[in-house]
Chains A and B, each alone.
Chain A
Amino acid sequence: MERDIIEVKDLVKIYDKRIRAVDGISFTVKEGEIFGFLGPNGAGKTTAINVLTTVLTPTSGAVKVCGFDVVHDSQNVRKNIGVVPQDLTADEDLTGMENILLCADLYGVPKAEAKKRAEELLALVELSDAADRLVETYSGGMRRRLELAAGLINRPTVLFLDEPTLGLDVQTRAAIWKYIRHLKEQYKMTLFVTTHYLEEADNLCDRIAIIDHGKIVKLDTPAALKDSIGGDIIEVAVEGDPAPLVEVLRKIETVREVVCKEDGTCRLKVKSGDKTAPAVINAVSGAGLKLSKIWLSRPTLDEAYLEFTGRSLRREEGDRETVRIQRMQMRRRRA
């Protein structure tokens, strides 16, 4: 059995004596896992990641990363983790290479080794050609890739990624995830990711914690999360009179709920749709009915999310982008 590489028990973080940003969360992350934190703005994701990465000290609770306590043994935690923050932290006045080497120095990586690793990492994220250009001239996607490379310079056991694809277009996001998967295989890391892109969480994470108002409202695999809202949906229609169809369908063991619409289409909530669909086909033809349509759909994580937090994440994405644009403008004004 894999060991627990992150152990969080009753973590609470209160700001200014009033704001309970993280309100008693507990979970463990296994070695080699991709663990996702999913939640709306202000849910406490970044606060939690900042406690795990020793940037903030917890108000109460016990947090261990790689077996070290984040408060009492923070130095050992820091040596073993890599962080890819939400903000683009690379210095615009320095080149890509200079930025990576600066990070290497912060971790105390010896000069020759640092240079070797930096070249390797920049090649991995396909920035070798831009290595000696000022970061100022990089595109958003390039800067994200640079952050990734910088987060790996100390060969971390656990890599924390806070919204690694925030504000990027679909193609660039896919590319970033390609790099992340590739890097994970190459260096055998555990990944802790926060995201508000549901497809990403769905496709990439082994387990997801849905976090809202500083609490974990649900923690499970993406498949189980989707199952828990009532399983898959099958829609069927038959030629002719649909009345006998309902009886036939209700007899199938894995069908939980049957709702028929006026046009004769029946909507079924079923457990594991891929196994139930053939059973539906067999039962329908067995009863002498002629199937005119069958359609299987799996619930999306968005539905699961809605179920557990009472709000849709899609709407929040818009707000998020606005905040990001404002922030970028603030930075430009400064520059």
Chain B
Amino acid sequence: MSGLLALTIRELKKWYKQPIQLFMTLIQPVIWMGLFGKAFNLSSLAGAGGAGGSQMFMQLFGTSDYFSYMAVGIISMVVLFTTMFGGMSIVFDRRLGFLSKVLSTPVARSSIIFSKVFAAVVRCIVQVSIVLLAALALGLALYFDFNPLMIFLPFAAAVLLAIGLSAMFLAIAVRSRRFETQMAIANLLNLPLLFASNALFPIALMPDWLQSFAKINPITYATEAIRQSLLMNPDWSVLAGDFVYLGAFAALFGAIGILLAWRYLSK
């Protein structure tokens, strides 16, 4: 157990001891949100069609304001990007010999994977907090009867998503020695995962084939859970379904991570 903690702390130190990198990863989602969210003012576009347009927007997006809608999606995006780069760190550990060194110590193989998962979770919590604060500053409209206790739900959703995604990206990178390959895979996966979800746009307007993918995409469920808890009068059965799905996703990929660690960390 001391090994798991030590390795997690190592990951985090590598993160916060690089102030420029830290600043960039924190600022990037805020820029996305500020530019993209404010520029694509879909709610005004719908509003230009009169009261009927606004009503249609409300029905489709579940909120009257596009910025609030996509700011929540950015929270999921932050989790996606953070876990993706977390997965790559294992390639460096392998390449620089650190992994071999750790493998020769009595540390549990699963601790090597889980230290990276936990570090990604901590990073996600910090980044999600900052994005949330920035979103509020830029005009995120909380549900008028918002219960402050509900603030734990977005974090819970982000944590479950972070566990599942980082275990997934680590599983992809577990045998790799090539950073370039991992970059290519990450670039290939990242936009489809983001756009084939409800993070930036409602699923209902997508073509059927895209909808069926978006409906298994865990990002959809995390985003929905966060929207339900922040922007609207929460529908508890929807929320419960989202958390069950996210929990299953985290558990499944966590288990796959442990399995791969045992089987494939060493050749």
Contact = CB atoms under 8 A, between A and B. Distances in A.
A89 B101 CA distance: 7
A103 B7 CA distance: 9
B92 A108 contact: no
13 contacts: A50-B100, A56-B266, A57-B267, A78-B104, A78-B106, A83-B101, A89-B101, A91-B14, A93-B14, A102-B6, A106-B3, A107-B106, A334-B179
A201 B19 CA distance: 45
A78 B106 CA distance: 5
Given A15-B267, A91-B10, A108-B2, A54 B98 contact: no
Contact of B10 (A54, A79, A102, A160): A102
Pick the most buried of B14, B17, B103, B106: most chain A CB atoms within 10 A of its CB: B106
Contact of A85 (B14, B97, B107): B97
Nearest to A51: B266
A121 interface: no
Contact of A87 (B96, B102, B103): B96
Contacts of A85: 97, 100-101, 104
B13 interface: yes
Given A56-B266, A88-B97, A89-B96, A103 B105 contact: yes
Nearest to B108: A75
B97 A105 contact: no
Contacts of B14: 91, 93-94
Interface residues of B, number: 25
Contacts, number: 77
B106 A79 contact: yes
Given A105-B5, A106-B6, A106-B102, A98 B13 contact: yes
Nearest to B4: A105
Contacts of A102: 6-7, 10
B18 interface: yes
A7 to B, nearest CB: 19
B267 to A, nearest CB: 6
Pick the most buried of A57, A78, A94, A105: most chain B CB atoms within 10 A of its CB: A105
B216 to A, nearest CB: 34
A109 to B, nearest CB: 8
B104 A55 contact: yes
A98 B6 CA distance: 10
A56 B94 CA distance: 13
B250 to A, nearest CB: 26
A107 B100 contact: no
Nearest to B106: A78
A105 B1 CA distance: 9
Contacts of B267: 15, 56-57
A94 B2 contact: no
Given A78-B106, A79-B106, A108-B106, A89 B98 contact: yes
A102 B7 CA distance: 7
Given A54-B266, A154-B105, 10 more contacts: A57-B266, A78-B105, A83-B104, A89-B96, A89-B97, A105-B3, A105-B5, A106-B105, A107-B106, A331-B96
A322 to B, nearest CB: 18
Nearest to B2: A105
Interface in B90-134: 92, 96-98, 100-107
